[in-house]
Amino acid sequence: MKRSIILLSVVLLLSGQMAHADVPSTKLLAQAEPGANTQDLPTPILKTGINLNTPALSPNTLQLSNTIGLTPILEQIQSLRQRVSQNGQGDLGARVDLMEAVQKAEVLLARTNLEIDFTLAQINAEDEVYNEVLAKFTSDRDKLVARVNAASFISNGILWAVCEAFSIGSFNTTFAKNPKKVIQWPIPSGIVGIAAGIVPSVASMYTLKAVNGKKKMSESEPNMLAKLFDYPTNPEVEYPRSVWEFLHQVPADQSKGKARLDQIVDRWIADSNMPDFTDRNSKKQLDVITASVAQKKGLNMGTLTARKVMLEQLAAEIMKMKRLLLEAQMAISGDKQVVAELPTPQLRSSAPDSVPQFDVRTDKNNSESKQSLISEAMPPNVLETKQVAPSPTQPLLNQKSVPSTTSTASLFEKARSGSLY
């Protein structure tokens, strides 16, 4: 009886030690911020505040536009579009300026879009690596748990079979004549029965340790999370300027709030699905999360899961920049406006204001002057000319050539900005 009690005490002690065998995770959780791991159901972190049905740009889109230097171009596009609408299609200078401004804006949007893709490409590459390592760790964990469970079930069955075998009394042919010769083994049966209960219990407690997976030395190659926590980086994990400033800006519709990056980190700490990250100032946690400093047994399923969740949420928030770029594109195409009304800027016109005035009735050099004005105001090869003979009954307009098109007078009027007669 005493031996059985001692043996049972040893088993319980060993079981308690195995249940708390995950020492690295316990150390990581020793330092935690208030509110850490308190949010069970994740929700979206940032909101863009875009309404595609409103005529004006949203505050966050205008903020991004100011960051990438797009706002002055959008204002120019809006003003030029108003000018073309007022003056009609004949204002060639305004139309050319509008096309140039639209082209500049499109190039700027394309560059910002590529900067976003540049960041997401590296995040996705790291996420794929962590997916592969986590899958390997998970597979090895599942195999180990399966082997431990199989050994537990098999050993339990064998031991209980032996225990019951010992409890069966043996007899010989003289049993009926001499019952005292019957052999009984209650003590061996009890010992084997105790073992039959201990072995599966120990195996079950070991699975509590094995379920966390194996642990290895963490890497010393910084990932895309390193720069967010002021760790050294390399060119592969740098952020383009537009993305970096977007993360460090306070949302335009939250003037008294936190920067976007601070809101993202707050969410990571509060997320109960990442128990291995509870303090943004814990060097031990950040060394492993950012893969910047190698730590013994730092790489495990918990830290890999935390990295994956953090990278995927970071990529999702950066991807929201594309929603803002869509609204900026709508402003370029005229579906939205930067401001309600803009003054028309002083731009180059199709005809200079310094064109001298001539009178065909008094100026002898009138024909040559008008021909030079037309050639300067109109691009080459616009008008087809033909040779005509001067008429003695009408004033000589041009001794060399006269435009054959009927729109010559109207074009000449726009070039001179005045009346011929």
pLDDT digit string, tens, across residues 252-302 = 988 778 999 999 999 999 998 888 899 999 999 999 999 999 989 899 999
Handedness of CA 295, 296, 298, 299 (dihedral sign): positive
Tens digit of each residue's pLDDT (9 = 90 or more) over 325-349: 999 999 999 999 986 444 444 433 3
CA separation for the pair 337, 331 (Å, rounded): 5
HSE of 279, CA atoms in CB hemisphere, 13 A: 14
Which residue type occupies 230?
D
Q: Which residues pair with 183 in a beta bridge?
A: 170
Per the structure block, which two tokens stand in for 316? 């999702």
* Eight-state DSSP code of residue 218: P
CA separation for the pair 337, 334 (Å, rounded): 7
Per the structure block, which two tokens stand in for 231? 């760790």
CA separation for the pair 200, 368 (Å, rounded): 112
Residue pair 269/182 in contact (Cβ under 8 Å)? The answer is no
Residue with the two structure tokens 């007899």: 171
- Per cent of the chain over pLDDT 90 is 45
Which residue type occupies 10?
V
Residue pair 211/145 in contact (Cβ under 8 Å)? The answer is yes
Tens digit of each residue's pLDDT (9 = 90 or more) over 366-420: 444 444 444 444 444 434 433 444 444 343 334 333 344 444 445 445 444 444 3
Give Cβ neighbours of residue 365 (< 8 Å, ≥ 6 apart): none
Sequence-distant contacts of 76-83: CB under 8 A, at least 24 apart: 76/101, 76/345, 77/101, 77/102, 77/105, 77/331, 77/332, 78/331, 78/337, 78/338, 78/339, 78/342, 79/342, 79/343, 79/344, 79/345, 80/345, 80/347, 81/334, 82/342, 82/344, 83/344, 83/347
Tens digit of each residue's pLDDT (9 = 90 or more) over 7-36: 445 444 544 444 444 444 444 445 678 888
Read off the pLDDT of each residue in 161-186 and give the average, rounded to a whole number: 65
* pLDDT value at 3 more than 60: no
Per the structure block, which two tokens stand in for 181? 């010769």
pTM passes above 0.85: no
CA separation for the pair 343, 186 (Å, rounded): 105
Select from 19, 8, 22 the least CA-distant residue to 206.
Answer: 19
Per the structure block, which two tokens stand in for 379? 């691009």
